[in-house]
Chain A
Amino acid sequence: MAEPFLIGDRMTGGYGGADILHGCTVAVEKGEIAVIVGPNGAGKSTAMKAVFGMLNIHAGAVRLNGEDITRLSPQARVAKGMAFVPQTHNIFTSMTVEENLEMGAFLRRDDISGTIDEVYRLFPILKEKRRQAAGELSGGQRQQVAVGRALMTRPSVLMLDEPTAGVSPIVMDELFDRIIEVARTGISILMVEQNARQALEIADKGYVLVQGSNAYTDTGRALLDDPEVRRTFLGG
């Protein structure tokens, strides 16, 4: 079987103290959505950060499109086509929406107006508010700015750390719809989610992590139907 487009393969590591990840594997195929779920403290965000190079792993590897990128800095990974939306502090609050998008494209030297238009097509509300300071927007709109900023480098992989944290259920559904739309354009999506049930519904692949290891791995649908997973993680 061909290797997935992006894979964090049997990663072991942590923030310097005790290991948090123990041989954990997460991967995503081209244009698909992979979701990492699991109980609090399972190392979901840590796994994501490990894939993006924000912490050291001392065993295992990260490969993008077959290329080993384990030793690259996060900035170098951005240049390779990866984009990351942190869970918090993911926008420039004092800058306008449009400036946020411009900063997202800082590495690009070509004309970015086409990409800005694409982001506005995806998130029409941002076009309306483009001259407003991003910090003045609502929670859901801020998340849209954050995702839009990450899309400005025209990445091949978009990584989202709990994109729906702290937003209302209606806004959450809308954000998920937009994420599906992004995936349809051929961008792979790897995300960590608290709202496990809704996230698995849109996931092509789901990873249930427990204490830094893979507990269950299957398609999103199969995980939702698995009685064991339902009982232990999805609350019946």
Chain B
Amino acid sequence: MDFLNALVAFANFVLVPATAYGAQLALGALGVTLIYAVLRFSNFAHGDTMAFGTMVTILVTWALQAAGVSFGPLPTALLALPFGIAGTALMVLGTDRLVYRFYRQQRAKPVILVIVSMGVMFILNGIVRIIIGPGEQNFADGERFIVTAGEFRKMTGLSEGLAIRSTQGLTIVTAVIVVALLFWFLTYTRTGKSMRAFSDNEDLALLSGINPERVVAITWIIVAALATIAGVLYGLDKSFKPFTYFQLLLPIFASAIVGGIGSPLGAIAGGFLIAYSEVMVTYAWKKVLTYTLPDNLAPDGLVQLLSTDYKFAVSFVILVIVLLFRPTGLFRGKSI
């Protein structure tokens, strides 16, 4: 019974939240990795692209709520999501036309594009704060829980409860659907294959008659969709705050690089690896250990390896280790 309680406590505080967080990071890292594979630079503006998409979605959500529209037990934000994606797609395509295309035509080095993307990041940062403000926004509505801790305790008779929030369930289901669609697209469609060909060997893709501007535009649209979905899921699960999204850049890049930048499969693996590490290192294990260890060994302290304030250090350490010992990442990155 104690063991079951320990398992439930572990699932409640580590497994479920980390899986949801991992799915959000994976979606974010997929966007970074696609840009890297096709446009060949690390897009520092990705966190703020997520913030922008989430902002548009929130504004549309508010409009829908004001008009009295709701999505039953599901959050209204899901109805607003297509608008958010469309708005973000227009924004990134506009940025590409105004900014990145110029440097592409100059055949600028990747490092220059990275700096350019930082410029875009600061501008987006400002735009989002001007429009929606720097404060925190909660926009989740609908049913709060799939299973509450109380219901779970009543159902199983255990003393530990397992709560699954509907946003967590939603995150995982959405992530699975989105990833499946993306892989289907990249593997089987003509356009998806041309993206992979372009990423693999740009010159040969040109010789084969693949239009680079079209590949670039489609990549941006997919990235806009991924960023908006990742941002909205994160915002529903936690809350929306522009600065938090800017900070997400670090774990997202860590995920992409740990998995092998340019490899979509790696981005997913990296997302979960970073999320589990971050949650496990900052979780106070006292409860789980009290259940599993004999009484005389029960810990007095919290058994928390790092305070949650230091959670970004976890991404950093993993990043450094991977770059030292396996710079191409777990899945041998570089081309999709």
Contact = CB atoms under 8 A, between A and B. Distances in A.
B208 A90 contact: no
Nearest to B200: A92
B177 interface: no
B194 interface: yes
B208 A104 contact: yes
Interface string B184-211: 0000001001101100110111111110
B197 A95 contact: yes
Interface in A189-211: none
Contacts of A89: 201, 203-204
Contacts of A93: 200-201, 335
A90 B200 CA distance: 11
A45 to B, nearest CB: 14
A94 B207 contact: no
Contacts of A104: 208
Interface in A94-117: 94-95, 99, 102-104, 106-107
A106 B189 CA distance: 12
A106 B210 CA distance: 7
Nearest to B206: A75
Interface in B154-210: 190, 193-194, 196-197, 200-201, 203-210
B201 A92 contact: yes
Given A94-B335, A95-B193, A106 B200 contact: no
Contact of A106 (B196, B201, B208, B336): B208
A125 interface: no
A79 interface: yes
Contacts of A79: 209
B68 to A, nearest CB: 48
Contacts of A91: 201, 204
Nearest to A100: B197
A78 B201 contact: no
A86 interface: yes
A153 to B, nearest CB: 8
B3 to A, nearest CB: 46
A107 B200 CA distance: 18
B201 to A, nearest CB: 5
A220 B194 CA distance: 40
Nearest to A150: B207
Given A92-B196, A95-B196, A95-B197, A103 B208 contact: yes
A106 B206 contact: no
Nearest to B334: A94
Contacts of A22: none
27 contacts: A74-B206, A75-B209, A78-B208, A78-B209, A79-B209, A84-B207, A86-B203, A86-B204, A89-B204, A90-B204, A91-B201, A92-B200, A92-B205, A93-B200, A93-B201, A94-B335, A95-B197, A99-B193, A102-B190, A103-B208, A104-B208, A106-B190, A106-B194, A106-B208, A106-B209, A149-B204, A153-B209
Interface of A: 74-75, 78-79, 84, 86, 89-95, 99, 102-104, 106-107, 149, 153
- 5 closest Cβ pairs, A-B complex: A107-B209, A92-B200, A103-B197, A106-B208, A94-B200
